[in-house]
Structure 1
Amino acid sequence: MNEKDMTVHEHINEIRKRLIIVVVFFVFAMVGGFFIAEPLMKFLQSSDEAQKMTLNAFRPTDPVMIYFQIIMFSALILTSPVILYQLWSFVSPGLHERERRVTLSYIPASVFLFLSGLAFAYFILFPFVISFMTNLSNNLEIEQVIGINEFFQFLFQMTIPFGFLFQLPVVMLFITRLGIVTPMFLGKIRKYAYFVLLVIAAFITPPDIFSHMLVTVPLLLLYEISLWIARIGYNKAQKAEAIQREIEEQERRERIDKELAARENSGE
């Protein structure tokens, strides 16, 4: 059944079915998260910067809370391909066959970019920020007493946003391929996009110019790369539509010629 022909009740049932699938996979992913949470927690504390700190639990529940948060985040990452596929399955009936194939390929790219954003933030940005703050405290002769809950909350706040920011190429390619916006429009609003990225960088970095540039420059490059990819995708879509129109026009002409030939034969 075409999505356009579905009733509201059928849409709701379709959403419910796909949500159930996501929830089931999420539960299984949480079970798997129990096995990887402890080694992952130790890995996140194994960086050189973290080794220089003594993490403290100010409440008895702090380690347990962090443990379950890591399980939840791990389960969400493991379930993300299923979530994206179910979202694609829900909207795909309203797309053309070629659009369905193209948008389906975005799922592995989206997961890869999300993991790349986490890796960039954890291996490059987070160590520098921690080092900067530690040196600042030492210069001010402030003895830091760091709680494990505060350490991991700061880690999550620094890394997870970059996982979503690195989705920019997929988002821009998706909206341009569907014709929602054009690369030309995205190019015209470049200065506004730069301003938004500058503000985002200011919120997630320490108040020094080097840290700000360390985040801002990759984000600006990411926008330009996304715009370049969007232009390529848009041009391919335009060429494909032009070829499809030519094929349809050729078929229409052949159909008219056959009809005229049939009329002439019937007249004879």
Structure 2
Amino acid sequence: MPLDQAPYIDYDDNEEEKGEKEMTFIEHLEELRWHIIRSVAAILVFMIIAWFSMSFIFKNIILGPASPDFWTYRKLCELGNLVGIQSLCVDKLNFSLMSREVSGQFMMALTASAIIGLLFAFPYVFWEIWRFIKPGLKITEKKAATGSVFYVTALFFIGVLFGYYIVAPFAINFLVNFQIDPSIENQFDIQSYISILATLTLACGVTFQLPMAILVLTKIGVVTPAFLKEYRKHSIVVILIVAAIITPSPDMISQIVVAIPLYFLYEVSIVVSQRIYKQKLQEAE
């Protein structure tokens, strides 16, 4: 056939052929190296932006849950006034923050910049990881994973927001207002405060990936919808344990607040598993 009459081959239709093209070990390492370099560069860009905005970030975001005027506390007080439970209002957080090291504030600003840089660069970093993995997948697996970057990113940020606005305020409020004796003053190091805040928000972002984890496990045949339904009661115990690990405060309210959305995500995971399992059966037929 003459070249001018050759059929046009679309890029997407030729993806499987490209994905099956073998690469040497050195070529794989080189490809991985550039994905890592671009990911680190994206994190550094957001770190620099966060560094120059650190005064605003510390005052309005990081120290937000440490103020009685925080959005969560105000909404909780409105709920308390509505149902007639005035004790829900947070009038004062009984603690003060201190920096006990010469380089304490500088290191905290650097740490906060790194965490914020990682948070905002997460969609791009995951996209780079996906670009590295994607060529090794079959065309059917690529179709099944369509939109995975969007769903993983959305679930991650929903989890982070849930941790920041729900879990962290409840935990901080309980911990700072707990006193063995009124004569003992709560003076916490800024490193301890940021550590708790970052741990709670990031942990929620990771645990909210449960539906995507179940999707992958169903795809590779590790779990089935029947398995998830059979062990639904057992999952409640596991979820409560995970909630207790995520929340540093021993109060049941904080743990229940975390456990409820996790159980909801478990039910969503069952629906996701059913869809993937049904697709596998159709492909097998």
TM-score (norm 2): 0.74
Q: Please report how far the alpha carbon of residue 159 of structure 1 lies from its aligned counterpart in structure 2 after TM superposition.
A: 1.7
TM-aligned CA distance change 1:38 to 1:177, over 3 Å: farther
Structure-1 residue corresponding to 2:196: 154
TM-aligned CA distance change 1:110 to 1:232, over 3 Å: same
CA distance in 1, matches of 2:120, 2:253: 34
Q: How many residues in Structure 1 have an aligned counterpart in Structure 2?
A: 241
CA distance in 2, matches of 1:6, 1:180: 29
Q: Please report how far the alpha carbon of residue 98 of structure 1 lies from its aligned counterpart in structure 2 after TM superposition.
A: 4.4
Alignment check: 8 A CA contact 1:88 1:104 kept: no
Structure-2 residue corresponding to 1:140: 181
- Which of 213, 217, 235 lines up with 2:256 in the alignment? 213
- Is structure 2 residue 82 aligned with structure 1 residue 64? no
Alignment check: 8 A CA contact 2:19 2:137 kept: no
Task: Specify which structure has the higher proportion of helix.
Answer: 1
TM-aligned CA distance change 1:180 to 1:13, over 3 Å: farther
- Is structure 2 residue 64 aligned with structure 1 residue 46? yes
TM-aligned CA distance change 1:14 to 1:201, over 3 Å: same
- Whichever residue aligns with residue 66 of structure 1, its letter is M
Q: Please report how far the alpha carbon of residue 179 of structure 1 lies from its aligned counterpart in structure 2 after TM superposition.
A: 4.4
What secondary structure does 1:5 align onto? coil
- 1:9-48 equivalences under 5 Å are 9-43=26-60, 44-47=62-65, 48=67
Q: Please report how far the alpha carbon of residue 21 of structure 1 lies from its aligned counterpart in structure 2 after TM superposition.
A: 2.1
- Is structure 2 residue 281 aligned with structure 1 residue 235? no
- Whichever residue aligns with residue 212 of structure 1, its letter is Q
- 1:164-183 equivalences under 5 Å are 164-183=206-225
Deviations 1:139-174 (A, max 9, x none): 632321122221111111222111100111122123
Alignment check: 8 A CA contact 2:50 2:57 kept: no
CA distance in 1, matches of 2:122, 2:20: 24
Segment of structure 1 superposing worse, 31-40 or 148-157: 31-40
CA distance in 2, matches of 1:182, 1:6: 34
CA distance in 2, matches of 1:128, 1:152: 15
Q: Please report how far the alpha carbon of residue 26 of structure 1 lies from its aligned counterpart in structure 2 after TM superposition.
A: 2.5
Deviations 1:70-125 (A, max 9, x none): 11111112222222112212221232334324424111221121111111112112
Q: Please report how far the alpha carbon of residue 12 of structure 1 lies from its aligned counterpart in structure 2 after TM superposition.
A: 2.0
TM-aligned CA distance change 1:177 to 1:35, over 3 Å: farther
CA distance in 2, matches of 1:22, 1:188: 40
Unaligned runs of 5+ residues in structure 2 are: 1-17, 71-91
- Whichever residue aligns with residue 243 of structure 2, its letter is A
CA distance in 2, matches of 1:222, 1:101: 23
- Whichever residue aligns with residue 270 of structure 2, its letter is L
- Whichever residue aligns with residue 172 of structure 2, its letter is I
Alignment check: 8 A CA contact 2:97 2:189 kept: yes
Unaligned runs of 5+ residues in structure 1 are: 246-268
TM-aligned CA distance change 1:86 to 1:238, over 3 Å: farther
Structure-2 residue corresponding to 1:204: 246
What secondary structure does 2:141 align onto? helix
Alignment check: 8 A CA contact 1:57 1:147 kept: yes
CA distance in 2, matches of 1:237, 1:36: 49
- Is structure 2 residue 140 aligned with structure 1 residue 123? no
- 1:87-126 equivalences under 5 Å are 87-126=129-168
Segment of structure 1 superposing worse, 163-172 or 3-12: 3-12
TM-score (norm 1): 0.78
Structure-2 residue corresponding to 1:257: none
- Whichever residue aligns with residue 24 of structure 2, its letter is T
